[in-house]
Structure 1
Amino acid sequence: MTPLLFLIITTLIAYTIGRFTSAAAKHGLAPWPAAIRYGLAVMFIVTGISHFVGMREALIDMVPPWLPGAPALVTVTGVLELLGAVGLLLGPTRLWAASGLELMLILMFPANVHLALTGENLPWDDHLLPRTLMQVLFLAAVLAVIIPEIRARRGARRHRESDAAKRSGAATDPGVPTDPSAP
């Protein structure tokens, strides 16, 4: 539940700052995808740190027994979460980071199922249905970053292609002679 709270609270704060502060709006903080991106970054920083401090043993216990090297898996996923969080905030790496985090959320879901099915005296939010719903929400939040990023990149590529076609249009247009001395 804590990661969900970090996601929601940070997203709302980022959106509010972007919406009501002109300087932040100029830097693209106002739209929801940007606010969600900040929320996800904070969430993954908090969860990434928990792979090393505080919850490490509980996370190791969550790893299904059929997966080898539970401590190493927890370490690797913690590092990936931290790298992904930073990558979400950097334009050139945003799409790769979001895509990697999306894949990681899918691959880590069996650990959530394992905990829900085998854990004892679990808090309500560690039971299968709440954990599944939270995971779906996390996946949707990451998609809310991926989809606009893909659209923006496609739009930028179309714009570049259009500009290139305009610049070379006279030379490639069959109706326009390429030789200025031609009739």
Structure 2
Amino acid sequence: MVPIITLTAATLLARLAGLLGADALDWQTSLRIGLAAMFLITGIVHFVPKFRDDMIRMIPERLPRPAALVALTGVLELAGAAGLLVPATAPAAAIGLALLLVAMFPANVSAARRGVPLAGKPATPLGIRTAEQILFIGLAVLAAL
């Protein structure tokens, strides 16, 4: 829920700033800011112990070195967030993040099926996880256009 709230709030605040006179803050730029805020938060939690341990458990057992994969995806989310804020790199960063979300989806499926909690909260059902991923991927593609 926090990623969706962050994405929505940051996007709307940036767009409001655009409507109030910040010329460069059109809808697409505002969306990129919202996605950057969301990926900043989700990237950081890859390194927070109470989240990290659960994220490691989310990784399907057939994949090697789950701790390294969690660290790698966290770094990629943070790099993507930064890339979204630079006009020259924003389209590539957005596509990269969309592809990252696709690549991470098996971990979400695995976590939902096995009931892996996140920071003490119950596992998110697969249907909700799938809808969120589709939303995030779609918005990342829009941010790339």
TM-score normalised to structure 1 length = 0.74
| Local SS of the residue matching 1:66 | coil
| Local SS of the residue matching 1:140 | helix
Match of 2:76 among 71, 75, 80: 80
Take 2:141 and 2:19, find their aligned partners in 1: how far apart are those partners? 22
Aligned to 1:34: 29
Match of 2:133 among 128, 131, 135: 135
Aligned to 1:10: 10
Take 2:16 and 2:136, find their aligned partners in 1: how far apart are those partners? 21
Aligned residues: 142
Larger Rg: 1
Residues 28 and 143 in structure 2, CA contact (< 8 A), matched pair in contact too: yes
From the superposition, tell whether residues 85 and 121 of structure 1 become closer, same or farther in structure 2 (CA, over 3 Å): closer
TM-score normalised to structure 2 length = 0.92
Take 1:52 and 1:121, find their aligned partners in 2: how far apart are those partners? 17
Give unpaired runs (5+ residues) of structure 2. Answer: none
Take 2:127 and 2:88, find their aligned partners in 1: how far apart are those partners? 36
How much has 1:144 moved relative to structure 2? 1.2
From the superposition, tell whether residues 50 and 121 of structure 1 become closer, same or farther in structure 2 (CA, over 3 Å): closer
From the superposition, tell whether residues 36 and 124 of structure 1 become closer, same or farther in structure 2 (CA, over 3 Å): farther
Cα RMSD (Å) of the superposition?
Answer: 1.6
From the superposition, tell whether residues 65 and 136 of structure 1 become closer, same or farther in structure 2 (CA, over 3 Å): same
Confirm whether residue 103 of structure 1 aligns to residue 74 of structure 2. Answer: no
How much has 1:120 moved relative to structure 2? 5.7
Runs of 4+ in 1 over 3 A off after TM superposition: 120-125
Identity of aligned residues (%): 45
How much has 1:5 moved relative to structure 2? 1.0
Take 1:16 and 1:143, find their aligned partners in 2: how far apart are those partners? 22
Higher relative contact order (Cα pairs below 8 Å, separated by 6+ residues): 2
Take 1:52 and 1:63, find their aligned partners in 2: how far apart are those partners? 15
| Local SS of the residue matching 1:15 | helix
